[in-house]
Every structure is written in structure tokens, then in C-alpha cells.
Amino acid sequence: MNSAPPFSTTPPEPELPAPWPYPWYSYPLRLLWWIVWMTLWKVCWHRIPILRVGLLRLFGARTSRKVRILGSVRIELPWSLTLGEYISIGPRVHLYNLGGIRIGDRASISQDAYLCGGTHDYTTLAYPLIRKPIIIGRYAWIAAGAFIGPGVTIGEGAVVGARAVVMKDVEPWTVVAGNPAKVIKKRELSHPLPESS
């Protein structure tokens, strides 16, 4: 009769994560961007928005000139960022855009929001990096301190309440709040959108 236990008491050897999950050329580019972000980015006067827009474009971002981004905004990979017109990105917003982030016209991202385009596969002990895009639709508002998870699309005109945690897509023209975010109501405008919209 076999007296061996039905399961192993020694944990399996952990798999090693990929030591370099990005192409080789991205590492010096990220270092250069970090240096620019720590210096030039911070001293660009926000009343002349073309200064920061110029730096973003220099690093490959696709962006309108009509964008307001404060100096404390953290952008991980500017070459994976697309910004429409008349966008406002508030203080201390973190755009962790490993899978790319696209923000539509007239969207607002309030202070301390975190848009997280990366996670890890926890079903393997190597925890490989997973990168997914985030899309913020036109006229959407991400309120203060909200967290938007990887692969999420925030529909046109949607509102994400302060400190909400959004891990699933948000339908257009809805208001969501809470952790996890749940639909509160439809968003109804007191004035119709301009015809040119």
C-alpha cells in the first residue's frame, strides 16, 4: 500500500518572469523620457500648453495642440498615447499606458485618477506582464481618484465617480460609481451638444 501523501508538500519551483518584456530599444527611450519628464516637462508653463504637447509629440504621442496637461501628470509611454482636442488632464493623474491609451475630444481626467493599462497573469508563478489598451470616449469625465483598469472602454459622455474602481466597460452617457463601479443613472445634459460635435 502506498503511504505517499495525495499532494506534494514541497512547492513547485517558480517560473522566472521574462527579464526584458519590451523590445531592447524601448529601454533607453524610456530612460530618456524619464529624464525629460523629471526636468523639462515639469518646468513647462501650463499657460502655454504647446510646450508639453511639443514634448509629447517629440516622443511619438499623437495629440492635438488644444490639450491641457499639468506638470505633475505621469505618462509612462508617450509613444503609446493618443489625445483628442480640448482635453483636460488634472494634477497627479497617472497614465500607465503600457497597452496604449486613447482619450477622445473634450474628455476630462480629474486629479489623482489612475489609468492602468498593465497587469500580470496570476495563474502562473512567472506573473507575465499583460498589456491592454484603455479608451476614454468623447465628453467623458473621470472624476478624482478613479481607477480605470486594463482593457476598459469608457463610452462617450460617461461619468466615472470619484474613487470608483472600473474593471469593465462603461456604456455611453451613463454615470458609474463605487468599488466595483456600478451604474447609478443615465447622464442627461441640461443643454444639447453643439451641432458641430
Determine, yes or no, domain membership for 37: yes
Among 20-24, 68-72, 145-149, the least confident range? 20-24
Q: Once rounded to an integer, what is the mean pLDDT over residues 53-76? A: 95
Determine, yes or no, domain membership for 178: no
Determine, yes or no, domain membership for 114: yes
Determine, yes or no, domain membership for 44: yes
Using alpha carbons, select from 197, 77, 64 the residue that is nearest to residue 134: 77
What percentage of the chain reaches a pLDDT higher than 70? 89
Strand-pair category, 101-103 with 134-136: parallel
Determine, yes or no, domain membership for 102: yes
Among 13-17, 67-71, 192-196, the least confident range? 13-17
Using the predicted structure, report yes or no on whether residue 177 has a pLDDT greater than 90: yes
Domain containing 45 — which CATH number? 2.160.10
pLDDT at 7: 60
Name the helix (H) or strand (E) containing 43.
helix 42-43
pLDDT at 116: 97
Range of the domain at 118: 26-146
Task: Count the domains in the chain.
Answer: 1
Determine, yes or no, domain membership for 179: no
Q: Once rounded to an integer, what is the mean pLDDT over residues 98-106? A: 96
Determine, yes or no, domain membership for 8: no
pLDDT digits (tens, 9 = 90+) for 128-151: 889 999 999 999 999 999 999 999
Question: Do 84 and 65 touch, CB atoms closer than 8 A?
Answer: no
Using the predicted structure, report yes or no on whether residue 56 has a pLDDT greater than 70: yes
Determine, yes or no, domain membership for 197: no
